[in-house]
Structures are given as structure tokens and as C-alpha cells.
């Protein structure tokens, strides 16, 4: 991803890969995961839409806010918060080379790897 040609769809696609790490951390916690799951689901849906619709970089913030306004009133606060987080991460990809490089590498994470190992073991155990 070239810094001058970064599009929201590119960054959002990479952020989808980063959600794997969040899922790995979430699964390892011993507390109620319902709020985390709801937030990650909202974020994932917004990221998928951004990848599919590929909004223009100049209009990305407005696109995110319109997405929040278009949702059900009882969800608007949560969707707005996730839209804001996505926009902040998109801007960070433009301003922090280390973050952009991490995204370019597929957002590698020990947490994501651990979640895959645990998931792989449980699937194998279920097959027996």
C-alpha cells in the first residue's frame, strides 16, 4: 500500500485481518464476552462494507458517519463509536509508518496465532 494511494478499502481490508488478534484475546478472557463480541461484530460489518463500497478517501469520514446514521436508533451510539475507531485507524495508517507496515504484513499477532492453534485443536478433538 503506497502512502499516497491508500484507499479506505485497502486499509479496512487489512484491519479485518487485525480483528483475528482481537478475537484471540477475547476468547482467552475469563469474563463475560458479550460486549466485546457486539463491538467486534459492528466493526467487522463496517469494515466489510468499506471494502465492498470502496469510498473515496476524501469522503471516508462522511461515509462512516452516514453509516452510523443509517443504522437502527438503538445501535447508533455503538456504530458511531466503531466508525470513529475505524477512521482513527485509517488516519493512523497515513501518519505512522510502523502501523502501516504492520497492516501491510497482514497484521501478524501472537494472539491470532494462539486462537488458531486452540481452534484447530478443538476442531480436531471434535472430529474424534
Q: How confident is the model at residue 29 (pLDDT cuts 50, 70, 90)?
A: low
Distance from C-alpha of 114 to C-alpha of 123, rounded to nearest angstrom: 14
Distance from C-alpha of 117 to C-alpha of 107, rounded to nearest angstrom: 17
pLDDT tens per residue across span 101-115: 888 887 777 665 554
Distance from C-alpha of 125 to C-alpha of 119, rounded to nearest angstrom: 10
Which pLDDT value is given to residue 117? 46
Distance from C-alpha of 112 to C-alpha of 48, rounded to nearest angstrom: 19
pLDDT tens per residue across span 53-105: 999 999 999 999 999 888 888 888 999 999 999 999 999 998 998 988 888 88
Amino acid at each position: 500500500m503506497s502512502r499516497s494511494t491508500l484507499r479506505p478499502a485497502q486499509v479496512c481490508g487489512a484491519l479485518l485481518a487485525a480483528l483475528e488478534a482481537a478475537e484471540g484475546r477475547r476468547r482467552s478472557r475469563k469474563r463475560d464476552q458479550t460486549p466485546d463480541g457486539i463491538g467486534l461484530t459492528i466493526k467487522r460489518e463496517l469494515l466489510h462494507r468499506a471494502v465492498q463500497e470502496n469510498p473515496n478517501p476524501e469522503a471516508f469520514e462522511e461515509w462512516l458517519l452516514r453509516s452510523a446514521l443509517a443504522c437502527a436508533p438503538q445501535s447508533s451510539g455503538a456504530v458511531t463509536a466503531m466508525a470513529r475507531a475505524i477512521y482513527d485507524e485509517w488516519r493512523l495508517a497515513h501518519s505512522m509508518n510502523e502501523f502501516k507496515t504492520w497492516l501491510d504484513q497482514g497484521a501478524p499477532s501472537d494472539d491470532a496465532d494462539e486462537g488458531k492453534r486452540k481452534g484447530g485443536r478443538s476442531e480436531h478433538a471434535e472430529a474424534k
